[in-house]
Amino acid sequence: MAIIIRLDRIMADRKISLNELAKSVDMTNVNLSNLKTGKMKGIRFETLNAICSALKCQPGDIFEYIEDNDSIVE
């Protein structure tokens, strides 16, 4: 996967637990955990907005693009 999810790093920086964040963004612990571990294939902008608001961060703080050889289109 070329998109790396850094949600755990941002949560650690903000000293917020998975349970606290899930409650503040009205999301289940399981779904938030799936997002955090990269098991989720997509995210709604509404959810991303709530997460960024709760963590006071930008979407780019949570997601990082790393180019890999498999994703290069010639």
Ranking 36-40, 58-62, 69-73 by mean pLDDT, the lowest is 69-73
Q: What share of the chain is helix, strand, coil (3-state, %, to 5)?
A: 55, 10, 35
Residue 11 lies in a domain: yes
Query: The domain containing residue 13 runs over which residues?
Result: 3-67
Quote the number of domains for the chain.
1
Residue 62 lies in a domain: yes
pLDDT at 69 over 90: no
Residue 74 lies in a domain: no
Percent share of the chain, pLDDT over 70: 92
Residue 25 lies in a domain: yes
The CATH code of the domain that includes 24 is: 1.10.260.40
- Cα gap 64→2, rounded to integer Å: 8
pLDDT at 65 over 60: yes
Residue 73 lies in a domain: no
pLDDT at 73 over 60: no
pLDDT at 1 over 90: no
